[in-house]
Chains A and B, each alone.
Chain A
């Protein structure tokens, strides 16, 4: 125990049997959605799919990013990256802004569009099973070992070993090692990942840095901005007061001793209407 858990999915071993798909449905008590599992797509009732792409079978599920975009964008902290790896959802917090759906680089979170009070739905890496020391449901049933459960670090070692053992076969890259700062779900393939439909244009640094760089500056901005604006106001206000006083001086010295009218203290139509 202790370390971060994860999954290693080896495209070359997947035979497209749909066991993971079925196990996920069973574990999450999800209803049937299509006649043939290969035609399904991620939805509020399907958290993982198997697809035929680029001459291989591939799996799609939440990647459980190391620095998850969905967690960073949720205004109320409804999504959480747990210490053991799973990114989980606290539905009692969610306000339904759907920013997580917009922001997730893998387009994973789905919404219960058909409900009046909808929730966000996605794979949770079988967090309860992990807590009980068991593998994820999808890994447990996989008959070929294409989906393998384990400690993330050990899985990385294993993936490296597989590539090293058969360099002429594998694409020399572990998908998920660096993508958006790393993910808990790792992929191995013998055909280029873009041919399998996985995004290969992702940044290697975590996306939350992009917004954090800006958000970070807010406290400074507020302090500096208030002081600056206050300063400007102080200067311009001084100047105006001086002007008014000078004008009054002039008036007093001048022939007609006309008392300037009281500036009407009526809220936002403040004083000094009579300038110019």
Chain B
């Protein structure tokens, strides 16, 4: 099994550049903090690392649980040959999600806290447990590939006996997890745009994850086919295409029904940024692939199937980004576009995923049956020949992803401007005039006078009167009350000591300097009254 990229040096170069930029950003992230390294802010606390790395990363692993349910629980054996690569992807997906979380958490070294500090009311708590448990399950499901390679029979037998319970646990956990990523957003009904907020969010996240799981399996098989000369199980993949259609159709029907029931269907057609993003997501990722994949000729055609799968994947990514970024921008009042640090870390994580997948295929029996087959001697249909050219496969993915980011960037920059005005300039009549404070002034209790004890050389005691130090039209306490003039009642600390000279610029002299007000050096009796 050899790497057989056409131009290895080029891709290695790309990989090295991505890795270099990513590592540099990593250093910035961990030495200078989130503020310096991301475009996140108080108004927009969750960005690309949650929206893409976590929400999409987890879901890209959905092929693992879908297929293992099909093979091990429903005993549909035909799909067995492609189960290992999907489990590998799922495992890598989860590991990379954890890596992304280590970047995103403000205190990554406390990532274990949810293990011992429980809050079962929190969706995030559930997510944390699911990530952890399912990563363990996936590691166990993945481990036979390692044990086989090392020819360790005993653990293999144990794992074999555990297969079905593990798969059941895995299916349950990922069902919970896929849907709970949607539940995360149930708590923001007034913040998330109504085109995406729905009480059914967990259901939508789950169903779309199944569609994505199938599409991802198709996509991956094609990549392996191109990169590692794997035989393409086109019948199997076409069947997965059918499953994708069913899942997408269920999703579409539910989604439209839900929008209609909540009376927001019309907003999809409004010429707003959200409307356009919603249409793009739905047309590209749902309706398009349904149409394409329903046609048998396209489904059975290498190129047709591949393109449909890519569309589903992209549409899905767009949906998750729309939920986490597009849909949240309006209420946040700011526009968010990831910083290059966030982008390069994300790219690095994706690239590492590809690299580990490649390494695993190279060194582990990921495609065990394939090894027994002779090198593929298929006569390639022209479409496949096209697929094999270096520029198709990874390149379009990168390009299209870049395109999506670019489009959303433009869109959000534009929409951000609009929102800022909408949020912070409420059209109110009394806005320009000074606020109405008459009644407050009536109730205004001027703080008591303070009489300072007379010092030794003093011509007389000084009484400080709040009343004479006030602008009665518009009292502003903060003019004097910041350090050193405390505003809070000094608890139990009595009156100021007479020994202190209050003439200096930290006390009366601060304003009584001859410029702001008469100087402490002028007429003593102005303040010192015998």
Contacts and interface: CB of A to CB of B under 8 A. Distances in A.
A75 B114 CA distance: 6
Nearest to A224: B172
B430 A55 contact: yes
Interface in A101-123: 101-103, 105, 107, 110-111, 113-119
Interface string A2-46: 000000000011111111011101110000100011000011100
Given A42-B42, A101-B45, A233-B72, A272 B77 contact: yes
A175 to B, nearest CB: 15
Contacts of B183: 211, 214-215
A247 B446 CA distance: 100
Contacts of A25: 482
A80 B476 CA distance: 35
A76 B437 contact: no
B188 A103 contact: yes
A25 B114 CA distance: 33
Contacts of A167: none
A13 B32 contact: no
B405 interface: no
A203 B189 contact: yes
B83 interface: yes
A96 B124 CA distance: 12
Interface in B138-156: 141, 144-145, 147-148, 156
B438 to A, nearest CB: 9
Contact of A55 (B74, B120, B436, B474): B436
Contacts of A177: none
B478 A111 contact: no
Interface in B235-271: none
A155 interface: no
Contacts of A239: 75
A226 B168 contact: yes
Contacts of A96: 105-108, 110
B379 to A, nearest CB: 25
A236 B117 contact: no
B422 to A, nearest CB: 12
A25 B483 CA distance: 10
Given A15-B441, A96-B106, A275-B77, A211 B45 contact: no
Contacts of A143: 444-447, 475, 477
Interface in B457-498: 474-478, 481-482, 486-489
A59 to B, nearest CB: 13
B12 to A, nearest CB: 32
Contact of B46 (A94, A98, A144): A98
Contacts of A249: none
Contact of A268 (B77, B87, B111, B447): B87
Contacts of B45: 98, 101-102, 111
Contact of B122 (A52, A75, A267): A75
Contacts of A266: 144, 148, 156, 160, 368
Contacts of A44: 42
B478 A37 contact: yes
A167 to B, nearest CB: 16
A272 B440 CA distance: 85
Contacts of A184: none
A117 B106 contact: yes
A115 B31 CA distance: 9
A161 interface: no
B105 A27 contact: no
A159 interface: no
A160 to B, nearest CB: 19
B176 A268 contact: no
A276 B78 contact: yes
Contact of A215 (B40, B121, B369): B121
A266 B152 CA distance: 10
A240 B75 contact: yes
A267 B148 contact: yes
Given A76-B119, A114-B36, A267-B159, A144 B168 contact: no
A215 B107 contact: no
A118 B475 contact: no
Given A96-B107, A267-B147, A269-B80, A201 B40 contact: no
Interface of B: 30-36, 40-43, 45-46, 69, 72-75, 77-78, 80, 83-84, 87, 104-108, 110-111, 113-114, 117-128, 141, 144-145, 147-148, 156-157, 159-160, 163-164, 168-169, 171-172, 175-176, 180, 183-184, 186-191, 199, 202, 328, 368-369, 426, 428-431, 433, 435-437, 439-441, 443-447, 474-478, 481-482, 486-489
Interface of A: 12-19, 21-23, 25-27, 32, 36-37, 42-44, 52-57, 69, 72-78, 93-99, 101-103, 105, 107, 110-111, 113-119, 137, 140-141, 143-146, 191, 194-195, 197, 199, 201-203, 207-208, 210-212, 214-215, 218, 221-222, 225-226, 229-230, 232-233, 236-237, 239-240, 265-270, 272-273, 275-276
24 contacts: A12-B440, A15-B444, A16-B437, A18-B477, A26-B481, A26-B486, A43-B42, A54-B431, A55-B436, A73-B121, A75-B114, A75-B124, A77-B119, A96-B106, A105-B190, A116-B32, A118-B107, A140-B488, A143-B445, A144-B440, A214-B202, A226-B168, A229-B168, A239-B75
The 6 closest A-B pairs by CB, nearest first: A96-B106, A55-B430, A113-B35, A267-B144, A15-B440, A236-B75
Given A18-B478, A96-B108, A199-B190, 11 more contacts: A19-B481, A55-B436, A57-B435, A72-B119, A74-B122, A78-B117, A144-B444, A195-B428, A230-B168, A236-B74, A269-B80
